[in-house]
Copies of this chain bind each other. A is one copy, B any other.
Amino acid sequence: MFETVKNRRTIRKYLPKEIAPDLLNDLLETSFRASTMGGMQLYSVIVTRDAEMKEKLSPAHFNQPMVKNAPVVLTYCVDFRRFSKWCEQRNATPGYDNLMSFMNATIDTLLVAQTFCTLAEEAGLGICYLGTTTYNPQMIIETLSLPELVFPITTITVGYPDGIPAQVDRLPLKGIVHNEYFRDYTPESIDEMYAYKESLPENKKFIEENQKETLAQVFTEVRYTKKDNEFMSDNLLKILRQQGFLK
């Protein structure tokens, strides 16, 4: 299992082969063993297999081909609705319509999502996370009929890998792990940490293709711009209010 994680790659192309329902259920059920705050299990998973539903979800994910190509799409939702409904039915007044509760449920949900991924990869499946989920939550909320106190936090496409892409780089361990307290980065430590990433031919090609001077500019000017982030931040606040997690 160490080897599976060490050798893992994000898989964006899948064979036209279904995932057996029993296998999928076993993976999901096992993943729900992940740690959860106070045993509350503050999440729901929406399983999309239907081609028409994938078609409807696709624009929310900027039409990335994985959505329609994967046999299964899993939308992981923060869910304080189930727990709150239970409280109401048991003469208890829930107080989970706030940001702290949203964060607690976000943590719960992501632990389960990632446990699913590790298990799925160990079972020979490949996965891809779609960060677009929180970019266009409104479209997903409408498509999947998500009510108040439910919010889509991430999406995973799953299937049998069609080919094994090259493994991508990671920063050196010492750039990420701090002993005892946070050591702030220096110009030298930044240079050292990013040297390998910047030396890679694929990243040099990436700069050229985007007609930029540096790799960092591809991120700030093309992939994750300040303007987009600020627009999406405002939208996120709006949708958190709409779904009942913010006053």
Beta-carbon nearest neighbor of A215 in chain B = B90
Contacts of A220 in B (CB 8 A): 87, 92-95
By the criterion CB–CB under 8 Å, are B8 and A33 in contact?
Answer: yes
A31 at the binding interface (Cβ < 8 Å): yes
The 3 closest A-B pairs by CB, nearest first: A95-B226, A90-B216, A92-B216
Q: Given the complex of chains A and B, what is the CA–CA distance between A191 and B90 in angstroms?
A: 10
| Known contacts A38-B224, A92-B219, A114-B114, A100 near B131 by CB under 8 Å | no
26 residue pairs from A and B, CB less than 8 Å apart = A5-B119, A6-B33, A25-B173, A28-B173, A34-B114, A35-B117, A37-B131, A38-B219, A38-B224, A39-B168, A41-B170, A53-B181, A81-B184, A81-B185, A87-B216, A92-B219, A95-B220, A95-B224, A96-B224, A96-B229, A100-B134, A107-B153, A110-B110, A114-B115, A145-B182, A145-B184
Contacts of A114 in B (CB 8 A): 34, 110-111, 114-115, 118
Q: Given the complex of chains A and B, what is the CA–CA distance between A31 and B115 in angstroms?
A: 12
By the criterion CB–CB under 8 Å, are A48 and B180 in contact?
Answer: yes
By the criterion CB–CB under 8 Å, are B236 and A100 in contact?
Answer: yes
A29 at the binding interface (Cβ < 8 Å): yes
A32, A35, A169: most-surrounded residue (chain B CB, <10 A): A35
Q: 1/0 per residue A1-43: CB within 8 Å of B? A: 1101110101000000000000001101111111101111101
By the criterion CB–CB under 8 Å, are B217 and A129 in contact?
Answer: no
By the criterion CB–CB under 8 Å, are A45 and B185 in contact?
Answer: no
Contacts of A134 in B (CB 8 A): 100, 103-104, 107
Q: 1/0 per residue A105-132: CB within 8 Å of B? A: 0110011011101110010000111010
By the criterion CB–CB under 8 Å, are A99 and B236 in contact?
Answer: yes
By the criterion CB–CB under 8 Å, are A94 and B226 in contact?
Answer: yes
Q: 1/0 per residue A211-231: CB within 8 Å of B? A: 001111101110111110110
By the criterion CB–CB under 8 Å, are A216 and B91 in contact?
Answer: yes
Q: 1/0 per residue A152-196: CB within 8 Å of B? A: 011000000000000011110101111111101101001101100
